Amino acid sequence: MNAKQYMLLVILLCGTWHSQAQQPLYLTAGKIEFEKKVNMYAQMEGEDDEWVQVIKKNMSQFRVTYHNLLFNGDSILYTPGRSNPDNSSMEFAPLGEDNIVFTNLTASQCVSQKKVYDERYLVKDSTRQIAWKLTNETRMIAGFECRRANALIMDSVYVVAFYTDAIIPAGGPESFNGLPGMILGVALPHDHVSWFATKVYAEAVPVKLLQAPAKGKASTNKTMQEELQTTMKRWGKYGQKNILAAML
């Protein structure tokens, strides 16, 4: 092989490697870590009670928690993740931090375990139906290019989500779903809370790990909401915020 032939071979090999490297990676199984961030001060706006002001002086503005999402095909399991030592000094934690949510996308079924103060609910219902409106805006999240979509849920909650079609299952954190790929970012701008993926692991996830929770007071979304409304009807705005957080 002469020098020209050798150089031509190198160029062809490099071109082949480059074209292969540019092929998108499509995931059907893996693990995602989400960072949930709540602006505690903003959620307390409008509350003038002295005890609220005392609480704000003794807590950080933002509460950050971590959650894991395991997925394999049509099965998705969202659970609490690693602890955040920065939260150890906070006496008040928003509802939803201990949520366990199992979703079967093919069956359009969702089973979630939710702790609301002293009660633990086991909610079995159909998956949330969300009328998404896609936009052309994109952003990078955890190394994936994601496209923005907007929606309104629960009649009045404005949702901004970012999904990637490089992760096939059409799920997301909590009960968010229904976009053409995995949701890696969700923000409720008017409610001052967000979930964004920090890491995505392309790894095998045994189906046996994707089990629905089984403990709690048997409920549906409707019966749980009705019970919370009865319990918190005298709590004013604070009660309504709690109901919203519990129903997500």
pLDDT per position as a tens digit, 123-172: 999 999 999 999 999 999 999 999 999 999 999 999 999 999 999 999 99
Kindly state whether residue 164 falls inside one of the protein's structural domains: yes
Q: How far apart are CA 92 and CA 20, in angstroms?
A: 51
* Mean pLDDT of all residues in 173-179: 98
Q: The CATH number of the domain where 100 resides is what?
A: 2.50.20
Kindly state whether residue 248 falls inside one of the protein's structural domains: no
Q: How far apart are CA 129 and CA 126, in angstroms?
A: 8
pLDDT at residue 26 is higher than 60: yes
Kindly state whether residue 96 falls inside one of the protein's structural domains: yes
Confidence of residue 11 (pLDDT cuts 50, 70, 90): very low
Q: Considering the entire predicted model, what is its pTM?
A: 0.86
Kindly state whether residue 240 falls inside one of the protein's structural domains: no
- pLDDT for 91: 64
Kindly state whether residue 22 falls inside one of the protein's structural domains: no
Q: What is the mean pLDDT of the chain?
A: 88
Kindly state whether residue 203 falls inside one of the protein's structural domains: yes
* Mean pLDDT of all residues in 6-31: 52
Confidence of residue 46 (pLDDT cuts 50, 70, 90): low
Residue 94 structural domain: 29-219
Kindly state whether residue 11 falls inside one of the protein's structural domains: no
Kindly state whether residue 239 falls inside one of the protein's structural domains: no
Number of structural domains (the chain) is: 1
